[in-house]
Amino acid sequence: MSKKVKKTKDKELRSLQRVKVSTSNLLISIKSLAALLRASISLSDAIKTMSEQSNDKNLNRIYAYLHKKVEEGSSLSDAMRLFPKIFPETMVSVVEAGERGASLERNLLFIAESIKKSHDLNRKMKGAIIYPIIIISMTVAEFVGMIFIVLPKMENLYSSFPNVPPFTIFIMNSAQAIRDNWWIILLAIFILGFLFYLFLKTKTGKYFTSWLSLHFPILKNLFISNILASFSRTLGVLLASGLPLSKALLISSTTMSNSIYSDILKKVHSNIDRGQNLASSLAVYDQYFNKSFIKMVEIGELSGTLEENMMYLHDYYSDDVTEMSNNIVTLIEPLLLILVGVIIGLLGITILMPMYQLMGSING
């Protein structure tokens, strides 16, 4: 292969590695690929078919590249590893186990089900926190509107009043300062936001967000249940696909979104390699894995049904996430209403107090 051809192929791969694919389209494609294999179509022809039928052009291009690699002699799992953003290690490992055990079709169905459950769980999580975000955004918009639209009109009125309360003067001066320096404030917010974004990309930043999610009031139980549901599903799917416990744990640790749990699972993996069982290794971290979770793992190890028990735990914690997601608005709504009420109350006092004082002086 000439250097020019190789460079062109590398450029194509780098371009494809940057594209994004919707979860729903990926789910449909995996199920369709399994259906084609069930119909006794060869893997190469099945992948080629997938490169022509998706509504997502990027996904079609990725499947076309996978087909080319398979035609060159690469395994499907090795080809998928070239696209870690589209095909995470959990998925690739299940595909690899299916290729080795001649159960690729069944393992692809495992993957499809796992993707669907993960998508549903993430959607419920987003639904639980979107309401507070909307309320806070509306409050900020209202605050900005008061500063730039309402208060400037009131200042001219208050300038004719004899005795304006100090609190009102403070609010008016603060609003004036914000209007005079809005671009500096906006730039400072942008710079701080960008620096905070860079901080979150660091190891310390990831640890901070992980710690915050496990200690955030009201929402912490929701985050923990979501983590346990995801871990249970990942480990259960990997074990059901035929991977040994040690490798399944290692993969699970690398796919965890929470870095604290990821570090814990890496330590648990080391203990497993030294001969400990999973339940006793997890029991050391009972702050992160509750007693009922550990007990189910222990029973699964003793009875040889660990993968079934992990899938049961996934269903249990998924239901827990669903219930908490449905109730979270009820829990947070009073706090948000109090916050909005305090802000509106302060602004109301700012506007009305001078008027009351003026009326009092006139009546006096």
Distance CA 313, CA 279 (A): 14
For residues 122 and 70, membership in a common domain is answered with no
Q: Looking at the structure, tell me whether residues 238 and 350 fall in a common domain.
A: yes
Residues 213 and 309 in one domain: yes
Q: Which of 41, 70, 87 is the last residue of a domain?
A: 87
Angle at 170 between CA 137 and CA 155, to 5 degrees: 85
Same domain (yes/no): 24, 158:
no
**Mean pLDDT, 10 residues at a time, the chain of 364 residues:** 51 83 86 88 90 84 90 90 86 83 79 78 72 77 79 72 70 82 90 91 88 84 86 85 86 85 92 90 90 92 90 87 74 73 73 62 52
* Structural domain contains residue 275: yes
**288 CB burial (10 A radius; 0-12, 13-18, 19+):** middle
- Structure-token pair, residue 232: 């249970």
Do 8 and 117 lie in one domain? The reply is no
Query: In the listed set 33, 52, 87, which residue is the last one of a domain according to the structure?
Result: 87
344 and 244 in one domain? Answer: yes
Residues 66 and 183 in one domain: no
Helix (H) or strand (E) holding 178: helix 166-180
Residues 71 and 185 in one domain: no
Instruction: Specify the amino acid at residue 44.
Output: S
Q: Which range of residues forms the domain containing residue 263?
A: 113-364
* Residue 98 covered by a domain: no
- Looking at 87, 105, 124, the residue that finishes a domain is 87
The CA–CA distances, whole Å, from 268 to 130, 277, 311, 334, 352 equal 35, 9, 19, 41, 62
Question: What is the pLDDT at residue 17?
Answer: 84
> Are 179 and 52 members of one domain?
no
State how far the alpha carbon of 73 is from the alpha carbons of 76, 162, 202, 309, 324, in Å. Answer: 9, 88, 38, 38, 48
Structural domains of the chain, count: 2
What is the model's pLDDT at position 240?
A: 81
Name the DSSP letter for residue 243: -
Examine residue 196 and state whether it is found in any structural domain, yes or no: yes
Please indicate, yes or no, if residue 93 is contained in any of the structural domains.
no
CATH number, position 319:
1.20.81.30
Q: Are residues 299 and 222 in the same domain?
A: yes
99: in domain: no
Asked whether residue 61 falls in the same domain as residue 209, the answer is: no
**Distance, CA of 145 to chain centre:** 32
> Is 20 domain-assigned?
yes
Residue 130 neighbours by CB distance under 10 Å: 11
Residue 339 in domain: yes
Domain match, 117 and 231 both: yes
pLDDT of residue 359: 61
